[in-house]
Structure 1
Amino acid sequence: MERIAAFVSALLERWPDLTEDEDDISPWSTGPLIYFPMRWSMAVEASAYAAGVASSRGLNCFDPQARQLRP
């Protein structure tokens, strides 16, 4: 559970939770950030970053639309 919390914290360090995004820069399409739905316009960048952060913490990142784990 600690690795997941650290993962979410790392994502929120890069982009704010949608509920706290006053500058409209967050890729998340809903908040608070529990799942990771993303705005279409930022999905490629945000999903690649999230997959990299997950991997660096020994976690898997599953893409439900592609129905596979992200590399």
Structure 2
Amino acid sequence: MSYDLAVWDGERPRDNHQAGTVYDEFYERYLESDDVVVPPAPRIVGYVEALIDRYPDDGSGVGSGAWASPPVINEASGPIVYLLMSYSKAEEVSEYAASLAREHGLVCYDPQAESLRS
């Protein structure tokens, strides 16, 4: 079982409805399509690197067991990364992931709650 967040590079949507629309478009365009592989944008790569510095995705270190589907960078494409966190660590990791997204000027969205994370 996992808890998921989406983080993307772009303007912050004005509300949860607009965020859901952007999320749906990005998910379909960059994550669902196998037709074209789009390398992750530099800001997304920097974000993921900072995230796995704190919560490693290789099974070693403090964050071991944080990810439901490592390596995290494999869930990134273009301006978006889809984070699949182990449910047991979801509260801690999602708080940090949302905070780090703010620091990096990225948008953090919770697809389960259909809401922006601040």
TM-score range normalised by the length of the shorter chain: 0.7 to 0.9
Q: How many equivalent residue pairs? A: 69
Q: What's the TM-score once normalised by structure 1's chain length?
A: 0.86
Is 1:69 aligned with 2:116?
Answer: yes
Show structure 2 runs of 5+ residues with no match. Answer: 1-40, 76-81
The structure with more strand, counted as a fraction of residues: 2
Structure 1 runs of 4+ aligned residues shifted over 3 Å read none
* Structure number with larger C-alpha Rg: 2
Structure 1 unaligned blocks of 5 or more: none
Report which structure shows greater RCO (CA 8 Å, sep ≥6).
2
Distance 1:53 1:22 in 2: 21
How many percent identity over aligned positions? Answer: 42
1:9 aligned residue (49, 70, 78) = 49
> TM-score by structure 2 length?
0.54
Name the amino acid aligned to 1:12: I
What RMSD, in angstroms, separates the aligned Cα atoms of the two structures?
A: 1.6
